[in-house]
A = this chain, B = another copy of it.
Amino acid sequence: MSRSVGFIGLGIMGRAMARRLVDAKHQVTVYNRDASKAKELVAAGAKQAETPRAAAEGNDVIISMVSDSAAVGNVLLGPDGAVHGTKTGAVIVDMSTINPGSARRIGVALRGRGVAFLDAPVTGMEVRAREGTLSILVGGEKKDLDKVRDVLSVLGNNITHFGKQGAGQLAKACNQILCAVNMMGIVEALHLARLGGLDPAQLVEALVPGAGGSWALERFGPQIAKGDFEPGGRIALMLKDLGIIEDTARELGLPLSGVIAAKRYFQDNKAHDEADLGTQAMYKAVERAIEKAKGRRSLSS
């Protein structure tokens, strides 16, 4: 059944996701602050709105996919926010990655105005957004998820309802811990290999099927071996996510040695203008740590 969908936020992920909805013959109205990003989607059949409110008007489902809590608050609850255009019975689904606490607060504000809200961040990056094979991590009322499941199924093949509002964002935070900390193991292992004279590409191939194997080793290992640091997932976004993790962990009383060590490397990347590289560029931060350690040794000798 064709549904009417408002889609707010046309970054790399948002564009890929909105495009799938258009191609699945849903009636899609898109909004993006920089309107030029909508061109391809309009050519493919989407309508374009001039405000988030207008993108929401008359639609069954409104999806937001923007950069952070402030942007979500703005496009949903701001003066031109979606909430002002949402019809009775519609569901707003925020698929951005934000703090679980922010998701709860936005949910309370929306329900105060009679609007249903789900937090539903995704994992899988652009390639899986295009294929419609994202994992979608959902918090909020199950009955609201049931109302939009057909639309979300176009975007992801692995939809999990984790519980009450914020639970989807909390699950996403857990995923980002896995990604950040595992990346640290990958880059430290590849430097040990390099310094010890192994062929890193051969090492990755040998270790992927074993107990040290991971999606990230398979995906990023060969890129690192070639010196390819193009994003996949940008370090700037990972640092935002690590901030969310730290805030959430602090509230819950959880000390996180692994996360802290990974964050330190990524902050070194940022300090060296590498925030727009992919997370695998943590390899470059470890390289600098090696150089620094060399400096200390030659000073002390």
Contact = CB atoms under 8 A, between A and B. Distances in A.
Contacts of A185: 177-182, 185, 258
A170 B198 CA distance: 8
Nearest to A184: B258
A171 to B, nearest CB: 6
Nearest to A204: B174
Contacts of A184: 181, 257-258
Contacts of A137: 206
B186 A173 contact: no
A292 B137 CA distance: 31
Interface in A180-195: 180-182, 184-186, 188-193, 195
Contact of A290 (B160, B182, B253, B293): B253
A158 interface: yes
A221 to B, nearest CB: 10
Contacts of A248: 192, 196
Number of copies: 2
Contacts of A191: 254
A162 to B, nearest CB: 5
A205 interface: yes
A253 to B, nearest CB: 6
Contacts of A259: 188
A245 B203 CA distance: 16
Nearest to A205: B160
A176 interface: yes
A262 to B, nearest CB: 7
A202 B170 CA distance: 13
A158 B215 contact: no
A92 to B, nearest CB: 22
Given A175-B207, A211-B124, A100 B162 contact: no
B215 A167 contact: no
A297 interface: yes
7 contacts: A164-B197, A175-B211, A177-B212, A178-B182, A192-B248, A213-B214, A214-B216
Interface of A: 100, 123-125, 135, 137, 158, 160, 162-164, 166-167, 170-171, 173-182, 184-186, 188-193, 195-199, 202-203, 205-207, 209-217, 219, 233, 245, 248-249, 252-262, 264-265, 289-290, 292-294, 297
